[in-house]
């Protein structure tokens, strides 16, 4: 996907200087040249040269910020720099169990279009999933009144084991085969760069940029959907593991030779707390009839059905045990429980959090903060778009640096 450019040492320096400058501008929203120099410790002269070049290629632009009147009196307002929104149009796509969600953002990260396309089936062939993704993207672009060819980069979030660096999918509940070079397949449908990652990593990215993880350098996000996922942010960066498939919280083992998981192994946490696991149990004890969806099971529990209550109770305790293990391993400052559906309320309950605290190693310091953040699939897609914006930005800088060799 990404062209490897062999840069000379000074070329690398130039590239990293440019990247630092553009990252600083993006993080600040708008910022004066002298403040970029202070933040990056790059000399004012070099910042001036770099920003001139970035303006020249259209990645950033100058603005005159609104200054309060009393400040304006003191002299000419300082010119600031910001990312040029129109520089690129970026797509973020999240493939869920029953729907594909698409957001289109400008290069600054502003929303242009949000769109959801229902899926007929949850698990499909590689070629069908590529077609469905491209259909959803075309529909979103149609809604915005522009052509798919105007998109500069596509971020895609999939559930499962994904090596983001290679756009390679080891396993996903959305695909009917393992070990798929999914980036290469998708690239046959579109010329623009594609960036694929595990969906929970993208939620962590979205939480870090737009959500409850803003200005928090180290935190853990647990996602609850059809499966259970985790994203780890360490030192402001996503931790992915050596093969790109770390942080598989849902497949940590909680029971020896336990319940069968959708990954094919036994005893995974997900096989006790995922929606399919709860329905499986409900339908065993119910003689295979009755509860078709989680909503019905939730209603039964709310109306006092003992069998339904015991299923949710056990799932909650299993989940609390998993959370306590995460705290005991990572000791994060913050845990964000992130999910879209209210039906997962049983995992967010006060009782579950208290139970978790009981199993956390006890020291004379407060346990990590646990925050619940419910949001829709479009926010997951926004995380995918944010990832693509970062990568498109890095590609643009790399091209710029290599053209100067
Ligand atoms: Zn599993």
Last residue of a domain, one of 62, 83, 104: 83
Q: Residue 140: is its pLDDT beyond 90?
A: yes
- Asked if 256 and 368 sit in the same domain, the reply is yes
Structural domains of the chain, count: 3
Residue 71 has what pLDDT? 56
Chain centre to alpha carbon of residue 265: 25
363 in the same domain as 289? yes
63 & 139 share domain: no
Q: List beta partners, residue 111.
A: 105
- Determine the distance separating the centroid of ligand 1 and the alpha carbon of 265, expressed in angstroms: 5
Cβ atoms of residues 201 and 384 within 8 Å = no
Centre of ligand 1 to C-alpha 126, Å, is 21
* Claim to verify: residue 327 and residue 259 sit in the same structural domain: yes
**Is there a domain that residue 403 lies in?**
no
- Across 266-405, the runs of DSSP E, i.e. the strands, are 334-339, 369-374
21 belongs to a structural domain: yes
Looking at the fold, whether 76 and 106 belong to one and the same domain comes out as no
Give the position of tokens 């100058």.
62
Distance from the alpha carbon of residue 253 to the mean position of ligand 1, in angstroms: 8
Which pLDDT does position 72 carry in this prediction? 53
Q: 53 lies in which domain range?
A: 9-83
Going by C-alpha positions, the residue among 271, 278, 313, 307 that lies closest to residue 294 is: 278
Ligand 1 centroid from CA 249, angstroms: 9
Burial per residue of 213-244, b for 16 or more beta-carbon CB atoms within 10 angstroms, e otherwise: beebebbbbbbbbbbbbbbbbeeeebbbeeeb
Whether 75 and 189 share a structural domain: no
Give the end of a domain, one of 83, 100, 120: 83
The CATH number that applies at residue 15 is: 1.10.10.10
Distance in Å, CA 338 to ligand 1 centroid: 20
Structural domain contains residue 120: yes
- Residues 72-81 pLDDT 10s: 556 666 799 9
In terms of Cα–Cα distance, which of 239, 153, 235 is closest to 196? 153
Dist. CA 180 → ligand 1 center (Å): 19
In a domain, 385, yes or no: yes
pLDDT digits (tens, 9 = 90+) for 230-248: 999 998 889 988 887 778 8
- Asked if 93 and 107 sit in the same domain, the reply is yes
Tell me which residues have their CB within 5 A of the ion that is ligand 1: 251, 261, 263, 265, 268
Q: Ligand 1 centre from 329 Cα, in Å?
A: 20
């Amino acid at each position: 996907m990404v062209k490897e450019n062999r840069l000379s040492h000074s070329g690398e320096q130039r590239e990293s200087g440019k990247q630092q400058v553009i990252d600083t501008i993006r993080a600040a929203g708008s910022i004066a040249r002298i403040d970029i120099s202070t933040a990056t410790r790059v000399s004012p002269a070099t910042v001036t040269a770099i920003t001139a070049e970035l303006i020249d290629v259209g990645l950033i632009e100058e603005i005159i910020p609104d200054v309060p009147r009393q400040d304006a009196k003191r002299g000419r307002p300082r010119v600031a720099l910001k990312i040029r929104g129109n520089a690129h149009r970026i797509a973020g796509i999240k493939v869920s169990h029953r729907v594909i969600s698409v957001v289109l953002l400008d290069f600054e990260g502003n929303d242009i279009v949000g769109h959801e396309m229902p899926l007929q089936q949850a698990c499909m062939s590689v070629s069908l999933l590529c077609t469905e993704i491209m259909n959803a993207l075309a529909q979103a672009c149609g809604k915005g009144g522009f052509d798919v060819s105007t998109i500069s980069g596509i971020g895609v979030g999939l559930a499962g084991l994904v090596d983001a660096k290679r756009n390679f999918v080891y396993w996903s509940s959305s695909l009917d085969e393992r070990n798929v070079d999914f980036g290469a397949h998708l690239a046959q449908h579109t010329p623009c760069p594609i960036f694929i990652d595990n969906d929970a990593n993208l939620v962590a990215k979205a939480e870090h940029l737009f959500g409850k993880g803003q200005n928090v350098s180290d935190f853990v996000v647990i996602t609850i959907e059809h499966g259970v996922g985790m994203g780890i942010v360490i030192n402001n960066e996503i931790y992915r593991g050596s093969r790109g498939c770390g942080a598989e919280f849902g497949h940590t083992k909680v029971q020896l030779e336990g319940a069968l998981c959708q990954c094919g192994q036994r005893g995974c946490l997900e096989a006790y707390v995922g929606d399919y696991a709860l329905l499986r149990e409900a339908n065993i004890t119910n003689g295979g009839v009755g509860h078709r969806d989680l909503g019905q099971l939730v209603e039964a529990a709310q109306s006092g059905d003992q069998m339904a209550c015991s299923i949710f109770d056990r799932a909650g305790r299993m989940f609390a045990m998993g959370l306590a293990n995460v705290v005991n391993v990572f000791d994060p400052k913050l845990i964000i429980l992130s999910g879209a559906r209210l039906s997962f309320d049983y995992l967010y309950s006060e009782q579950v959090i208290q139970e978790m605290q009981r199993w956390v190693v006890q020291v004379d310091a407060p346990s990590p903060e646990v925050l619940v953040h419910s949001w829709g699939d479009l926010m997951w897609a926004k995380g995918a778009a944010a990832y693509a914006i970062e990568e498109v930005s890095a590609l643009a800088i790399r091209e710029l640096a290599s053209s100067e060799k």
